[in-house]
Amino acid sequence: MEKAERDRELQLKIETYGNMLFRLCLIRLQNVQDAEDVVQDVFYQYLRRSEPFESGEHEKAWLLKVAVNACHRVWRSAWKRHQSGEEWQEASGVLLASVTQEEACSPEEYSLGQEKRRQLLEAVMSLPAKYREVIHLFYYQQLSVKAIAEVTGRGESTVTSQLTRGRELLRRSLKEEYDFE
């Protein structure tokens, strides 16, 4: 494959998967720069990959798996463990800013929706990493439990348990705001 064609293919993949990978990495790492670095690394690995993918789903799963593994490497690094915990606020602001106004709602409805999304995002970002990751993959990336298990390298029952526990933590966290039982 010639260089111009490979560049066009890479640009298309970045447009297709870049935002999805960035959001996943941002949820996991809670740091904009680290998330950008990981996404760049994922696409570098994509360029170096020589074998073709079986399907678009296989390609997406591969990209997610590489991103999750790269996030785990960054998260486990000694430098990352000593960073301040306040970076998640910047990360949540970036994630919230990426949500666009739905065409069918008024500015007032959009503003109210933004506030609810902000509260939910803050609650998700405050979850422990293992729950935050599966919640994000399930609800934001709309992956099945089986696909999440494949991407994260966890068993399906583990993913199901983490989803259940993550939901319960979210329910408790948001109960004060919404007072639901």
27, 42, 37: which is closest to 95 by C-alpha?
Answer: 27
Contact 10, 46 (CB under 8 A): yes
The stretch 31-50 carries a mean pLDDT of 91
Outline where the chain has alpha helix (H): 3-29, 32-48, 56-76, 78-81, 87-97, 107-125, 129-135, 145-152, 156-178
For residue range 148-176, what is the model confidence (pLDDT) as tens digits?
Answer: 999 888 999 999 999 999 999 999 888 86
User: How is the chain split into domains, by residue range?
Assistant: 1-98, 100-181
pTM across the whole model: 0.65
Fold of the 100-181 domain = Arc Repressor Mutant, subunit A (1.10.10)
Q: Is 66 exposed, middle or buried (0-12, 13-18, 19+ CB in 10 A)?
A: buried
**181 has a pLDDT exceeding 80:** no
**Mean pLDDT over each residue of the chain, to the nearest integer:** 80
